[in-house]
Structure formats: C-alpha cells, structure tokens
Amino acid sequence: MLVGFENVSFGYGGERVLGGATFALHEGERVGFVGENGAGKTTVLRLLLGELLPDEGKVFRKSGARIGYLEQSGGFSSSSTVYGAMKEVFAEDESLLAALREAQSALQHASEAGLAALSSRIESLQKRIAARDSYHFEVRIKTVLGGMGFSEVLDQKVDTMSGGERTKLKLCRLLLEAPDLLVLDEPTNHLDLKTLFWLEEYLASYKGAVLVVSHDRYFLDKTTERTLELERGRLLLYKGNYSRYKVLKEERYKEELRAYEKQQEEIAKLKDYVDRNLVRATTAKSALSRVNKLERMEVLEKPLPPKTPPRFRFSYERLPYERVLTTGTFDLAADGKRLLTGAQLTVMRGEKIALVGDNGTGKSTLLKYLVSNAPGVVFGRYVQYAYYDQENADLDPESRALDALWERRVSLSQTDARKLLAQAGLFAEDIEKKVKELSGGMRAKLGLAALETADANFLILDEPTNHLDLPAREALEDALEAYDGTLLFVSHDRRFIERLAHKIVAIEGGALVVYEGGYAAYLAKKNSPPVPPSAEKPKSESYRSRQERAKETQRRTRVREIEARIAAIEEEEAALGVRLAEVAADYAQVKSVSMRLEELRKESDALYAEYETLI
C-alpha cells in the first residue's frame, strides 16, 4: 500500500468533510477521484499528503515513497530557462556521466598500479548509469516538453510565462521526476486537444501509481481503472473507470435500497408477530425469540438517493431564416499576432458546430469577433443570438446573484427567478451572495441560468463547461442535445464535443478548416494518412508533396537506426565495463578496452546530437 485512510474523520468549523473514511491505494494503481464541486476533494488530497492532520483515524503513507503533487493552480517558478529547469531533475545523472567520462579518460593515462581502482570505479558507475537510464535523460526531457507543447520555447525564462504555462511546466517536471505516486488535481486544465492525447498516452506507460482529480470524462476513462468517489462525507471505491463507475454507482444504490426495504419488511413482520403473540401464554416464548432477534439485528440505514443534478432548458419562440450567420473574407489578429488570414464562416439553421484548435490559435477571439458587430459579419433575419463568455465577465460582480439574473429578464417573478437558479444548482444562500463572492462553479451556473432567459435561437458558447463539475456538465449536455436551435461552441471537453457537434471547424495554420460529420469523423480524418494529390493539382505541387513524404520516411528510418545503434553501444559499453574488471591486472588489455570505450563514447555523443535534430 502506498497511501491510505483508516476511519479518518475531518471537518472545518463543525462542518464535516469526511466521516470515518477508509480506503487504500496500491503501487501502480490508476485511480480517478470524483465528487461535486465543494465536496472536499482537495481536502482529502491534503490529508493524504500530510498537509492536514485528521480529527480522528489514521493516514498511512509508505515509508520512503515519493509523492508528486500537481495543484490546480500550482504554477512552477524558476529563474532558469524551460529546458534548464527540467534539466535540474537530472543533476545526479549529469554528475554520473561526467564522472564516467573523467574515469574513462584517466584510464588511458593511468599507471599499472591505478588500473584496478579505475576499472572498478568505471564498472560501478556504468551499473548506476544503466539502473537510472542516465544516457537518455535529455531525450526524456525533450519528449515531455515536446508533448506538452514547449518545443519552440526551450530557451524562454520560466518566470516570464503565463500562469497556465507554468502549471503545465510543473506537470512536466513531475512527469520527469517520476514519483511513486502522482497526485494530479485537474491536470487537463490549460491543455489543448493535441496535448491531452499525448498526456493520456504518456500516463498509460507510466510505472508509478496515479491519483487524478478531473472533470474530463475522456481523460478519466482513458487513464484510470478504479474510481474513488467523495459524497456526503463518505469515500467509496469502485472498480472500473468513470463510465463503469456511473453504472456501478446506480447498481449499488438499487442494491442497498432493496436490502433496506427487505429488512424493513422483515422488521415489520417480526414486530407484528410480537405485538399479537407476546401476551398469549402459548406463543409468548416464540414472541420473545423474535424480540431477541430484533435486538440483535444490525439495522441498515436507508440509502440516500443520488443528489439531483442541475437542470437547464434552452428554448426560443421565433424560427430564424435558414442562413443564420455569414461573414465576408476576414483576417483576425490579437496582441500583434496574426491568427487568421482570408477566413470565411457560414452557419446554417440547426447546425451544431464545435470550434477547435490548439491553445493560442484564436478560438475565443473568433467568437468575440463574431458578436462584436464587426464589418462583414451578418446575422440572418429573425436570428436572436446569445453569447456565453467563459469568464462570465458580463455579470456585474457587485450585484446579488438574484439581481444579476433579473437584469437579464425583468419580467420574471421573484418565485420564477429563484426557481430557475435553484434548478441550475444554486443554493438559497448562494442566491443572496454577490457575484464576486460565488465560486467559479456557482458563477458558471448563474451564467447558464441567465442564458436560459435569453430565448435565443442561436447560442454562441465559449467554454461553457469550465468550472462545472461532472453532474452539471452532463446536465448541460442533456439540455443542449435537446435544444433544436443553432449552436456554435468552443470546448476542451471531448465528451461534450462528441455528443453535441455535427460539424467541426478547426483553426489550422491560420485558416478555418471545415470537417463534416461529428467528432469521431474529425479524428479519423486527422489521423488518416495523407491523401495523394489529385491529378488536377500542378505537377510542381504534387512533386513537392512526394518529396516531403519521402523525407519524412527517411527521417523516421534514420531515427530507428540511431535508436538501435545507441542501444547496441550501451550493451557493448556494459560488457566492456565487466571486461575491465576481469583484466585489471593486464595493462595492455586495459589500454585496449579503454580506447574502445572512448571510441564508443564519441560515437554515442555524435548520434545523440543527430537524434536531437530529428525528433
């Protein structure tokens, strides 16, 4: 067992977060951790890490186990460059390799008396280097930084980067440190789709255990095999990923309810028999036996039904004309950076379109451009659009939540306004708070409730699932799937895109590229091999395309050749290390072996240099 709880209870100011919780996480396990926003998941993580002490019970951590923790906003700080900060993880590997080079170099000039000691030191160093895989540490750094999208900024200072970028760098550092247990609190925040896929693949081969809090259902399904749920102060562990957990949770409730109802029936029958027979001499003895059975019975608590998720409903009164939105050809830039060139977009009535692209390509900027009365942007006749801003910047931070809703729909009665907010998941005490006092999740629900009042036949949504917990995300999906209006949205939630989008518009290379069909069709087209150029294309373009494919094939072949040669060199170096120890007393043979080791080192250095240019 790596970490675990035994009857742990904890609370703040009399409000219970945990009550008698017990669970264990073992080496190599992949566990997803779910629960409503505000349920106390971060508190549980801090108890596991020893940052908080339980009120009752015990927290176990395996002696010597290394635990790496990524906080939601746990940005990494360093005055070094991106590459230099990651290289710090491998200081011992650099030291070992430097010591080996020094010993191998000294071997060529050593006297006979010093040969044995140097040979023994080289053998010891090679064993430690092999055990740590020190030869490959630079490749590991570039693999992780490349996968997480930092290939072009290796020399940038960490402290000059944004908060989101520094959180990603903290994750990079944890992956390179490779602790026994990775505790990740919302690791998919700030990641675009390409990086998400890469991280999923990387974690699939990760040797340590992983405990991950995430609202990304795709990510949980791909990376976890058990699910830990925190609900009403209880920790329950389910076998299976998130999708399997949802099935098992429902089955568990039904089973517990059946057991409770069956026991209540039995209790009622026993009590009825006692009431009718206890005073009768002929049956008093059997009645007393039933009294004893009742007293010995461990009475089951009635299982609490699953909490009611939020409910949303989007509707409109007037049908727009068929062409909902058209633009002329336009360019788009932000902060001096050109995002789109010669772009054009048309949205037809009833379409549900997901706008996707890497971080920084301009998705949110494009949505804001469309709703800013920009020249050439034309909404069709009878179109009533509503825009959802991911930061809810259009909500007055000084207004009460109730007033912020009324400002959108003054015709609502107070009863209807409170009902709408309650259905969205805001509690009575939240309704009276100022907007600025609400949590991110509550503010998002308020924004969605306000969107419901717009009676819009065209919804333009920028990251509507941000800050929402899983039940709220699924409730929003249900509502938008039932909505028969037009939808254009940006989201990093792949399950959300998969369920809703009929068409994908991707920002690629400064252009808008349309992919007909849903998310699965988009992925299939993105992952399919290049289509041969048509006969209609100019020969020069076709020829360049073939050249590019040939160069890519050559690059991949050379990468495989280098990897195979480096592996062979390392095997030969290990064998020569053993050989050195065997011939330590023979000066001539030691000289020959050391010269060969120096040749291999030089060849290895040259191969690694070439390898770095290819990957």
Q: How confident is the model at residue 59 (pLDDT cuts 50, 70, 90)?
A: very high
- Give the whole-number percent of the chain exceeding pLDDT 70: 96
pLDDT of residue 419 exceeding 80: yes
Residue with tokens 């390898």: 611
Q: How confident is the model at residue 529 (pLDDT cuts 50, 70, 90)?
A: low
Give ∠ CA 189-192-195 in degrees, rounded to 5.
Answer: 100
By three-state DSSP, how is residue 79 classified?
coil
pLDDT score recorded for residue 60: 93
Stretch 517-529: mean pLDDT, rounded? 82
Please tell me the distance from the alpha carbon of residue 215 to that of residue 191, in angstroms, as a whole number.
13
List the one residue out of 482, 478, 483, 484 whose CA is nearest residue 465.
478
Mean pLDDT of the chain: 88
pLDDT of residue 539 exceeding 50: no
pLDDT score recorded for residue 304: 87
pLDDT score recorded for residue 198: 92
pLDDT of residue 541 exceeding 60: no
pLDDT score recorded for residue 106: 83
Please tell me the distance from the alpha carbon of residue 347 to that of residue 487, in angstroms, as a whole number.
9
Q: Point out the least confidently predicted range of 158-172, 214-228, 240-254.
A: 158-172
| Higher pLDDT among residues 410 and 447, named by residue | 447
| CA count, 13 A, side-chain hemisphere, 414 | 3
* Strand-pair category, 486-490 with 458-462: parallel
List the one residue out of 58, 128, 136 whose CA is nearest residue 96.
128
Q: How confident is the model at residue 92 (pLDDT cuts 50, 70, 90)?
A: very high
List the one residue out of 172, 194, 262, 229 whose CA is nearest residue 469.
229
Q: How confident is the model at residue 236 (pLDDT cuts 50, 70, 90)?
A: very high
pLDDT tens-digit map of 338-358: 999 999 999 999 999 999 998
Stretch 160-172: mean pLDDT, rounded? 89
pLDDT score recorded for residue 546: 67
Stretch 70-94: mean pLDDT, rounded? 89
Q: How confident is the model at residue 531 (pLDDT cuts 50, 70, 90)?
A: very low
pLDDT of residue 193 exceeding 90: no
- What are the structure tokens assigned to 598, written together? 């120096």
Give ∠ CA 6-7-11 in degrees, rounded to 5.
Answer: 120
Q: How confident is the model at residue 192 (pLDDT cuts 50, 70, 90)?
A: confident
Best-predicted range by mean pLDDT (466-470, 499-503, 558-562, 599-603): 499-503
Residue with tokens 């635990």: 67
pLDDT score recorded for residue 532: 45
pLDDT score recorded for residue 370: 95
Please tell me the distance from the alpha carbon of residue 320 to that of residue 220, in angstroms, as a whole number.
39
pLDDT tens-digit map of 385-401: 999 998 888 888 999 99
pLDDT of residue 73 exceeding 80: no
Query: For 507-522, b where at least 16 C-beta lie within 10 A, e where not — what string?
Result: beeeebeebeebbeeb
pLDDT tens-digit map of 133-154: 888 888 899 999 999 999 889 9
pLDDT score recorded for residue 81: 94
Q: How confident is the model at residue 13 (pLDDT cuts 50, 70, 90)?
A: confident
Stretch 512-532: mean pLDDT, rounded? 80
Stretch 499-514: mean pLDDT, rounded? 94
- What are the structure tokens assigned to 179, written together? 């602790």
pLDDT score recorded for residue 538: 43
Task: Count the residues in the chain.
Answer: 615
pLDDT score recorded for residue 284: 82
- What are the structure tokens assigned to 240, written together? 């299976």
Q: How confident is the model at residue 534 (pLDDT cuts 50, 70, 90)?
A: very low
pLDDT tens-digit map of 564-584: 888 788 778 778 777 776 776
pTM above 0.75, yes or no: yes
Q: How confident is the model at residue 553 (pLDDT cuts 50, 70, 90)?
A: confident
Q: Point out the least confidently predicted range of 254-263, 302-311, 342-351.
A: 302-311
Stretch 461-483: mean pLDDT, rounded? 94
pLDDT score recorded for residue 285: 85
